[in-house]
Amino acid sequence: MDIARVIGTVVATRKVPSLDSATLLVLQPLNERLEEAGTALIATDATSRRGPGEIVYFVTSGDAVFTGLHGEDIPVDAAVIGIVDSIHTVG
């Protein structure tokens, strides 16, 4: 899992029908100090409850799956799996 800031949304009027219920977010990956780290990416968000400025955690590659309207698992490149409420580090 990694953390990122939501920096935008993607509007797709045509997409694979199994992704019709998914919101697509633009994420800027962050390091442990919440500084930009890496290239922005697009991720699915099954709950459609995240918005610009929020810090989220996400998975990529083989761990990234979107569950469609009929319970089917759809592989995606990146998927948001939660909102970060707070981060505490030692040192």
27 in Cβ contact with 42 (< 8 Å): yes
d(CA 6, CA 15): 21
- Residue 6: CB atoms within 10 Å: 21
Provide the whole-model pTM: 0.82
* Closest alpha carbon to 57 in 82, 39, 76, 38: 82
| Parts of the chain with a pLDDT under 70 | 47, 62-72, 91
Q: What's the pLDDT tens digit per position in 3-16? A: 999 999 999 888 77
- Domain boundaries of the chain, sorted by first residue: 2-83
Q: Identify the pLDDT of residue 72.
A: 66
d(CA 91, CA 86): 16
Q: Identify the pLDDT of residue 41.
A: 95
The CATH number corresponding to 2-83 among 2.30.110.10, 2.40.50.220, 1.10.3720.10, 1.10.340.30 equals 2.40.50.220
25 in Cβ contact with 6 (< 8 Å): yes
Q: Identify the pLDDT of residue 42.
A: 93
